[in-house]
Each structure stands twice: as structure tokens, then as C-alpha cells.
Amino acid sequence: MARFSDSFLEALKANNEITSVMSSYVELKRAGRDFVCSCPFHAEKTPSCHVYTGTQSFYCFGCHAGGDVISFIRLIEHLEYPESVRFLAQRAGMPMPEDAGSDDASKRRTRMLEMNRDAARYFRDVLNSEAGREGMDYLNERRLERGTMIRYGLGYAPNDWHSLHFHLRRLGYTDDEMADAALVVRNKKSVYDKFRHRVMFPIIDRRGNVIAFGGRALEKDAPAKYLNSDETLVFHKRESLFSLNFAKNTKEKFLILCEGYMDVIMLNQAGFDSAVATLGTAITPQQVQIMKQYAPEVIISYDSDSAGQNAAMKAINLLSEAGVASRVLVIPDAKDPDEYIKKFGAESFRQLLGKTATALDHEFGRLKAGIDLTAAAGRAEFLKKAVPFLASISTDTDRAVYISETAKISEQPVNVITDLVNERRRKNSAGERRAEERELIHSKITRDPINPDSVNYPREERAERGIIAYMFNSPDLLPRVEKKLTPEDFPTAFNRKVFVCVSERIKNGGTLDMGSIGAEFSADEVGRITGICRQADKLPYSIPQLDEYINVLVACRTRREDKPASEMSDEELLRKMDELRNKKKKQ
């Protein structure tokens, strides 16, 4: 693991003030001396992520992500610790220490990006060869221009089980590396290409790296028309958008959200460079936050079928919750933007974009379609459709406006509509609460992935957290702890590791903050440590309280010492043997 001096890390964080960095990704709202925001790492309606200016740290009380500015970049950009430091150093124009080096994960990430780039070049070269004729014919039929193919780096995967596999082998990549990058499939018997007989679309991140691929099948009876890369160290589907590498530089004040690769590419070819697409999934909160960074408005261009309209409503609500204006594109006399542009031209399409209704107006209009509102039965049918729609609107102001409109159309009092909608919202909320309760129950009976030992030692684990919090708050009390406890007296492995790390830094005169100890822990583990520190803010930091925590662990040690070996679990037996070995060494 790369090591950086405390002085370098302090300077790095001083030059990357946490609110300045985080405001590039999320909207911060002041709360007293600190800030709050909707957490970018999980979906939520009420902001639960707090940014503390005094300690230059953040913590989400919802998903428990937390740490300093390095931890934030590590999570939001999916980088390893050394790469996060390098990212922030480049942002601040600071030179990196020459002796820092890079760890295995960082090297693995770099190697994967190089392999993806080489794979993209291979697919491109095949497309432009005789072997790629089928792929080229398909793209020509779609009337893609040569410049567009080059701009997007389009390629072709031959109808062969080992074409890319053997090519990458010749370049020096191993089967393990290829499987790690999801370029090949590996089973007990063989290794073979994941993409075969497909037109290939490289997926490129905001920094210009090829992070994954999408493949369009040329066989009519293929089980999957489009196939995307599996998630890897460098590719996270929920946080990626196709063509964002171009859209991020658009001069437009809006992004066009499409369903597929070809929709985006054809719009780009026609001069609309603000088009992006999700990658085979419904839009996610993370993708909304990314789009919010580049435009204040999103125009939704989804299919008009029921699946497309359901996806559009989800997008409308997520965008609304994030404070992003949205409109819905309705295309007359054509099935998609590409067909419309071919029929009527790019300028006519631009005018169409300007006439699009707001997203909620569009959805509200759909409720009235095909209903005779002059008849009582028709108004009743409309009201039946309107109530679920009104209940799904997340913002109070918008909901009130459309309730008023519904009351006029259905010829019912506003308070009657409001009562119906509130009842529906209560039912929806109850359903959400039951889902949350099921998830909570599941999480309680599922072992803690960070500290799995905690389920067996709940009281001791709380005491361990208390001692660790004391060490951060009052490092001078470490001798008092070590007078009665050794690391082996911490029964949970994760807290034991944290205690060892913290105590060693105290003894060596090192800095105790997330930046300095983050190199030794994963991003999720740093979040857990931050949570220990934040929740411990309410502790009464007194000697009797610390002694109480110590005594809990001493009592646990005594119980373990008195327990016969025949009654010990394998883990307890191994720990007991380690303790005996350590005692012998000290003697």
C-alpha cells in the first residue's frame, strides 16, 4: 500500500477543502456551521449526509459512508486510496511524492484500462477489415457516417469464440486479467470471448478511459439483443452514462436522456451533442446527480410503450427530487428521434425540443387521453387514474398544483381529491416502511460484512467502539488502556485492527485522522470508523466511562480464559493459541 507523509496529506486536504470538492458532485445546503446534502451513495428523499467543516469530514447517517475528502473521492470516483490522493493532488496542482508508488489495486486498475483500450482498438480494426463486413453493413444500413463511427470508436466482435481472447494473450495479458475485466467468460472447462458476432460500442468515462463495452447482436434470434459488460473494478453501471464524455462539453442548457446507444449516436451525428443514455437499466439516483453537474434540465426521450412510460415517470420523480427540471419529448409522425430527423431535418427537431411540455404536464395529459370528460363515467375513470399519479409526485408544490387541476376536470372539491391522494400516499408509505422493516430485519440476521464478529460479541463490540472513540478524542489516555488491555483482548477482528492502527500512530507521534489511516482500510471500513467517531461525539468523555469500557473487555477475557478448550469454537481456540504464543514471546 502506498504511503504518504502526514505533512503531504495535511497540505493535500488544505488545498482541497471538503465543501469545495463535494459541491462539484452534490448540492450542499447550510445547516448551522456545517452542511447537509442528499447522499450520492444511496437513494434517499431526506438529506442524511452531513459535512462537518470543523473536522473536514462527512458522514451519512443513512448508509454510513463517511471519512475525509480523500474517502469521498475514493467512493464517488471508485478509485483506490493512492489514486484518490493523486486525483486530489492533480486538482490542486500539487506534485506527488516520488516515493509514494502505487499499490496492487491501483496497478490492477491501470492494467484493466490499458486492456480495455487495446480491446477497443482490436474491435475497431476488425470492423474496418473484411472480417467485419457484417458489422459495417449494419452500421451503413443505419446510415451512420464514417466520422461518427470514428468519433464513437465503434467496432465489431467476430463470430468466434477466441478471437479477442487470443489477441489479448499475444499482447501479454493473462486469462485472469481478461476475466477480471469481463472481456472473457471463464468456467471450469474453458475461457472464451464474452462478445461474439456483435457491433461493439465502447463505454467511455468522463476522463476518456474505456471502462466497458456494449454489444448489439447481429443474429435475429440472439438471446440478448444488447449485451453489456459485467461490473468490474473500473465499471459501475449505476454510475455511468453512455456518451457523457461528449455531453459534458455541450453548450446546450439541457441533456437529452435516451434509452439506447443508437439513439444517442444518431442524435450526436445530427448535431445534438447533449444526448446520453443509461446502460440497460432504469435511471438511478447516482446518474441523476451526475447529470445535474452538467445541465439544469433534462429532456426525456423514451419509448411511448408502457415500459418506456413507467421508466419516464421514475426519471421524472428522481430528477424532481434532485432539483433538476425535466420535460418529455413527444415525437409526432416518427417512432424515434432518428426517424424524425431523417424525415424532417435537424432544425425541425430542434424546434420540437423547444416545444416539449414539462414532464408532469406530459404525464398528466396522458391520463386524459381517450376519455370522454363530458360524461360522469369518464370523469370517474379519469379520477381513478389520476389519484395514483398524484400520489407519486414527490414535491408538495407540484402535487398541490395538479390536485387543483384534477379537481377542476373531475368536478370534485379540492379537499376530496386531497384526501384521496393522502390516503394513497399513506398506503404507499406503509408499503415502503414494511419494505424497510424487512430489510432491517434481514440486516440484523445477516452478519455484519465489515465486522462479522460483532453478532457474537454485541456488548464487547460497543465497548471496543467506545475505547476507539476515546483514543481519537484523548490520545493521552492510551497508556491507561494498555495497562489493562492488549490488542488480543478485543474480541472482534475489525475493531482490533482499528485499535492497533490507532495506538501505533499515537505511539509514533502520527496524525489521527481519516486521511492518515485511510491507506490501511477500505472505503467502507473508513466509513465505519468515521461513524464510530461521529456517534461518539455524544459520549461523556470521563475516566470512569473509559474504565467501564475497559472492564467489559477484561471480563470477556476472563470468561475466555476460564472456558474449557472442549467448549471453545474453532475461532476461540485459535485466538487462545495466539494469546499463549504471544505470552511466551514476552516471557
Check residues 10 and 119 and name the one with the higher pLDDT: 119
| pLDDT of 553 above 80 | yes
Proportion of the chain above pLDDT 70, given as a percent: 87
Kindly report the backbone phi and psi dihedral angles of residue 498, in degrees, each rounded to the nearest multiple of 5, phi listed first: -65, -45
Orientation of helix 458-473 relative to helix 543-562, angle to 10°: 140
pLDDT in tens, 67-76: 999 999 988 8
**In this predicted structure, what is the pLDDT of residue 310?**
75
Q: Regarding beta strands 357-358 and 325-328, do their DSSP bridges make them parallel or antiparallel, or are they unpaired?
A: antiparallel
Question: Among 178-192, 206-220, 235-249, 361-375, whose mean pLDDT is lowest?
Answer: 361-375
According to DSSP H, which parts of 18-132 are helical? 18-22, 69-76, 81-92, 104-127
Domain boundaries, the chain: 6-92, 105-235, 244-353, 370-445, 452-586
CA–CA gap between residue 411 and residue 120 (Å, rounded): 60
Read off the pLDDT of each residue in 381-401 and give the average, rounded to a whole number: 81
CA–CA gap between residue 117 and residue 212 (Å, rounded): 9
Nearest to 84 by CA among 106, 65, 99, 62: 106
Check residues 574 and 337 and name the one with the higher pLDDT: 337
CA–CA gap between residue 267 and residue 160 (Å, rounded): 32
Mean pLDDT of the chain: 84
What pTM was computed for the model? 0.64
Q: Which numeric CATH code is attached to 244-353? A: 3.40.1360.10
According to DSSP H, which parts of 238-305 are helical? 244-247, 261-269, 285-294
Most confidently modeled range among 130-139, 361-370, 385-394, 425-434: 130-139
Read off the pLDDT of each residue in 191-205 and give the average, rounded to a whole number: 95
**In this predicted structure, what is the pLDDT of residue 136?**
97
**In this predicted structure, what is the pLDDT of residue 48?**
87
Question: Which strands form 198-204's sheet, in the order they lie side by side?
Answer: 155-157, 198-204, 210-217, 226-228
Residue with cell 467489559: 552
pLDDT in tens, 96-126: 876 454 556 678 888 999 999 999 999 999 9
Reduced to 3 states, what is the DSSP secondary structure of residue 64?
coil
Neighbouring residues of 539: CB distance < 8 A, sequence distance ≥ 6:
466, 469, 470, 473, 545
Query: In CATH, which superfamily holds the domain spanning 105-235?
Result: DNA primase, catalytic core, N-terminal domain (3.90.980.10)
Read off the pLDDT of each residue in 529-534 and give the average, rounded to a whole number: 83
Most confidently modeled range among 46-60, 71-85, 146-160, 281-295: 146-160
Question: Among 83-87, 159-163, 178-182, whose mean pLDDT is lowest?
Answer: 83-87
pLDDT category of residue 580 using cuts at 50, 70 and 90: low
| pLDDT of 194 above 50 | yes
pLDDT in tens, 33-56: 889 998 888 877 778 899 988 888
- Are 343 and 334 in contact by the 8 Å Cβ rule? The answer is yes
Element (H, E) at 300: strand 297-301
Question: Among 6-10, 119-123, 540-544, whose mean pLDDT is lowest?
Answer: 540-544
pLDDT category of residue 364 using cuts at 50, 70 and 90: confident
pLDDT in tens, 405-455: 888 888 888 888 888 888 888 887 776 556 545 544 454 445 678 888 888
pLDDT in tens, 313-342: 788 888 887 778 888 888 888 888 888 888
Nearest to 20 by CA among 53, 50, 49: 53
| pLDDT of 391 above 50 | yes
Query: In CATH, which superfamily holds the domain spanning 6-92?
Result: Zinc finger, CHC2-typedomain (3.90.580.10)
Which CATH code, of 1.10.860, 3.40.50, 1.10.1760, 1.10.3470, is assigned to 452-586? 1.10.860
